[in-house]
Chain A
Amino acid sequence: MKATLDLYRRLIGVQIRSQLQYRAAFLTDLIGQGMATGIWFLSLALILQRFESIGGWSLGEVAFLYGTVETAFGTMDMIFSGFDPRFFGQQVRRGTFDQLLLRPVSITLQVLGSEFVLRRMGRIVQGVAILAVAVTLTDVRWTPLKLAYLPVVLTSLVCFFGGLFIIGSTITFWTIESIEVVNIFTYGGSELMSYPMHIYQEWMRRFFTYIVPAIFLNYYPALFILDKPDPFGLPPFAPFLAPAAGFGVLAAGLALWRFGIRHYQSTGS
């Protein structure tokens, strides 16, 4: 176990050092990453001067949803960069993935360590900032349970998005091309989860409740933390399903990944 962790640290260390070589380029990249997040918030704040609320939720409340998703997605996108379907699809297509298979180390570890995009820090920092703004705007009544649950929710979200990335990458074993439709679940999912779920049409909400359990990862936890009533009348433990949903999706992703590895046939070129 110690050897594994040590190896992972070394793989990541190399990535970080190489990315820090061009300081100025890294810095602009970092700012560029965070930009989109900041822009979104500014745009929403300006728009809400005219519209007041989104489906009954205030700026601070929507920002809470957005801040949690953005922080978690940024973190996931940094740690799981190796499993980014776009990046991983390229490895499969070029056959560089086959090289990893020849090495006597866990393949999952190698893929995880094969890419680590440090500039995602920009996104994470902005996500945390928005979360902080959200908390000040909404004056949440904090209880020990809420305080303890927020990090659990964030971790579950990271696992959830990570699981989706792994599923997207595994699919490229069969499709070779990385398929853009996977973006609907990853980037689309994070966009969808940035707004209160009750604004979507019923079929879409059902899909993201029962097929992809996105609703339990931030909408229900947000209802609990912000003390809002549940419009769908799910059982009272629904806000606490985040860890089950998050780790469940990650476990499903890893299971599919292992199945994929066993059936991987290479592109043969």
Chain B
Amino acid sequence: MRLFWELCKLAFRRQLTYRAATLAGLTTNFFFGLLRAALMAALYGTRQEVAGISLAAAVTFTGLTQATIGYLSLFSWYEVMNSVYTGDISSDLLKPMDYFLFWLAQDLGRAIVALLMRGLTMMAAYALIFDVVWPHGAAQWLALAVALALSWLVSFSWRFLINLAAFWTPGAQGVGRFIFGLSWFTSGFLMPLRFFPDWFQHLCNLTPFPAMINTVVEVYLGVLTSPKLIQALLGQALWAVILIGAGQLVLRAGVRRLVIQGG
């Protein structure tokens, strides 16, 4: 466990040093946020509320989702994949630490920096120019913290799992791009899932993707009643367990067929 925190701390420090990259990422995310907020306003027109979400909440939604891009590595994450292709994985597998935890620790360090530097800053920037909606009361903030932590765990387990495709094909990035693209839509990143027709929401809820973003959004906006809220958080936890389990099984199968090129 000590090793886990050491790795996490190292990844945290490493991520902190990329200050220029953080600032550039933040600027780009913010610009896209402005576009998405304008789109929301244009969609709402004269409507006050749609599917229980006010225009102010919808604009906040665009900020909140832009704020999680860095935290959840929403656009790409191919580190395990690259380590298979470069062969670095051979030395990583020799380390006296579980391979999944080895990456989990590093991603935790990276995610915390992203949450603080890009997530919080984004929400602050949003609050400067828009009427931002905030969670009410300690209970909702607590629920949000739990939802955020679980969303990262689900997101990481899922990213880890699709990276393992590298054991079977040299073109795993294509597979990755495909699934990442699918996730923007079905996770509720592009639009709150509530805006979609019921049949589509049911379809999305069969996948782990809503547990990454939509749950966080709904908890933040306070549109869930208490029993639904508990159910949503438990759903996240369940997906985390399933994905971690699947990752372990696939990893074991993959390592068995892994051939390290010599030299």
Contact = CB atoms under 8 A, between A and B. Distances in A.
Interface of A: 22, 24-33, 35-36, 39-40, 42-43, 46-47, 49-51, 53-55, 119, 177, 179-181, 183-184, 188, 191-192, 195-196, 199-201, 204
A199 to B, nearest CB: 4
6 interchain residue pairs of minimum CB distance: A25-B171, A29-B174, A180-B24, A28-B174, A32-B177, A199-B42
B166 to A, nearest CB: 11
A39 B248 CA distance: 31
Q: Name which of B31, B44, B170 has the most chain A CB atoms within 10 A of its CB.
A: B31
B20 A191 contact: no
Nearest to B199: A46
A9 B170 CA distance: 27
A46 B197 contact: yes
Interface stretch (B3-11, B183-191, B211-219): B183-191
Interface residues of B, number: 39
Q: Name which of A25, A26, A54 has the most chain B CB atoms within 10 A of its CB.
A: A25
18 contacts: A24-B169, A28-B171, A32-B176, A32-B178, A47-B191, A50-B50, A51-B45, A54-B42, A177-B20, A179-B24, A180-B24, A181-B27, A188-B28, A191-B32, A192-B35, A195-B35, A195-B42, A204-B34
Nearest to A30: B174
Given A29-B171, A31-B178, A191-B32, A47 B27 contact: no
A46 to B, nearest CB: 5
Contacts of B34: 201, 204
Contacts of B27: 180-181, 184
Given A177-B20, A201-B38, A33 B177 contact: yes
A199 B171 contact: no
Contacts, number: 106
Contacts of A204: 34, 38
B138 interface: no
B42 A25 contact: no
A137 to B, nearest CB: 18
A30 to B, nearest CB: 8
B181 interface: yes
B35 A191 contact: yes
Nearest to A28: B174
Contacts of B39: 54, 195, 199
B139 interface: no
A188 B32 CA distance: 7
B200 interface: yes
A42 to B, nearest CB: 7
A39 B31 contact: no
Interface of B: 20-21, 24-25, 27-28, 31-32, 34-35, 38-39, 41-45, 47, 50-51, 169-171, 173-178, 181-182, 184-185, 190-191, 195-197, 200
A199 B48 CA distance: 18
Given A51-B50, A180-B25, A199-B39, A42 B185 contact: yes
B38 to A, nearest CB: 5
Contacts of A43: 185, 190-191
Contacts of A46: 195-197, 200
A51 B194 CA distance: 13
Given A180-B24, A180-B25, A188-B31, A54 B43 contact: yes
Contact of A47 (B21, B31, B43, B173): B43
A51 B181 contact: no
B131 to A, nearest CB: 15
Contacts of B171: 22, 24-26, 28-29
B169 A55 contact: no
Contacts of A42: 185
Contact of A50 (B177, B182, B190, B195): B195
Given A55-B42, A180-B24, A188-B32, A49 B175 contact: no
Nearest to B51: A50
A191 B178 CA distance: 19
Contacts of A35: 177-178, 181-182
A177 B22 CA distance: 13
Q: Name which of B43, B174, B195 has the most chain A CB atoms within 10 A of its CB.
A: B174
Given A26-B171, A49-B197, A200 B35 contact: yes
Contacts of B45: 51, 53, 55
